[in-house]
Amino acid sequence: MVGALLPDLWRTLGILAAAVSTLGIVLFFRTWPLANTSAALGMNVVTVLLAVAWPA
């Protein structure tokens, strides 16, 4: 229902969530194994790219 009312809201929320996630990963860089950190950063990049490149 929210998607029908605010169709572009998911883009903003996705980019914001990826930015907050990336900030957390950078602040606590040595907390997780490198493979997990790399995968999380990769998913953040994919999220932002999808949000930016998704057709309107």
On the question of pLDDT at 4 being above 70, the answer is no
When the pLDDT of each residue in the chain is averaged and rounded to a whole number, the result is 88
Q: Is the pLDDT of residue 40 over 90?
A: yes
Give the pLDDT of residue 42: 97
Q: What is the DSSP letter of 26?
A: H
Q: Which residue has the higher pLDDT, 39 or 7?
A: 39
Q: List Cβ neighbours of 41 (8 Å cut-off, separation of 6 or more).
A: 22, 25
The whole-number pLDDT of residue 9 equals: 84
Nearest CA to 54 among 15, 2, 4?
15
Question: Residue 42: how many CB atoms within 10 A of its CB?
Answer: 10
Q: Quick: pLDDT tens for 13-34.
A: 989 999 999 999 999 998 989 9
Classified as helix, coil or strand, 28 is: coil
